[in-house]
Structure 1
Amino acid sequence: MSSAPKVNKSEDEWRAVLNKEQFRVLRQKGTERPGTGEYDKHHEEGVYHCAGCDAPLYKSTTKFNSGCGWPAFFDAVPGAVVRHEDNSLFMKRIEITCAACGGHLGHVFKGEGFSTPTDERHCVNSVSLKFTNE
């Protein structure tokens, strides 16, 4: 899978294609409540795409049960996710966004001791994703 082409839309264009919750999370860096997303306990084989621009982000083979209340992945499709330092909420975190459209996905955490190949947890909002059986 290769990186998706860049997607640039105005705020009004995003509002026209995203529902209210998708817009709040993807474009305004919101967070869905833990345990409420449709993909937290989803375990089918396929690919998780950006709900904003349809770029492939995560393969189901990298998804794991972290118990955090959000879908967790130990790695992204190469080139699909960009990391940014996030100093909001009086703490230092690493925000992850879609490389194609800049949509907010969630945060990545390292060194939590999960037995995954990367020792990372990409904690992703379900509303930022859409799943396909590819």
Structure 2
Amino acid sequence: MTRKSKSRSAHKRYISIPHCVVDSASFAEIHGNALKLLTLLVRQWNGYNNGNLTCTWEQMKPYFGGQDTMRNALKALIKHRLVEITGTGTSQRLGGLPPILYAITWEAIDEYRGKGVMTVKPTKAPIRNDWNR
């Protein structure tokens, strides 16, 4: 009797950025550090937490040479509308400042189940749908 083989990637997680986003002017205009940060933000997304993604220095320190580099990359993502600020979370971080929450703009914003403050309401459709313009 033959055994049904499972796909090698059946248990592997991966990130996904749609072709329409990659083909957009917004994506073409970002630099390498912004692309790296976008990849790290998309890595946090699990299909149910868009709008609850965070970008703190403690999280991103292994990937960037300095805080200014990371901040400039984040500013570029926001400027090019690849990421949107959605609110503030709660945390016991150093300095006591709560993390800012973000959403990727090609997916709908999910309901926030944390204790922070969400300034954007959940959506049924992606925040942005003008990728091909």
Alignment TM-score > 0.5, same fold: no
TM-score (norm: length of structure 1): 0.31
TM-score (norm: length of structure 2): 0.31
* Greater strand proportion: 1
Question: More relative contact order in 1 or in 2 (CA 8 Å, sep 6+)?
Answer: 1
Q: Quick check: which has more Rg, 1 or 2?
A: 2
* Greater helix proportion: 2
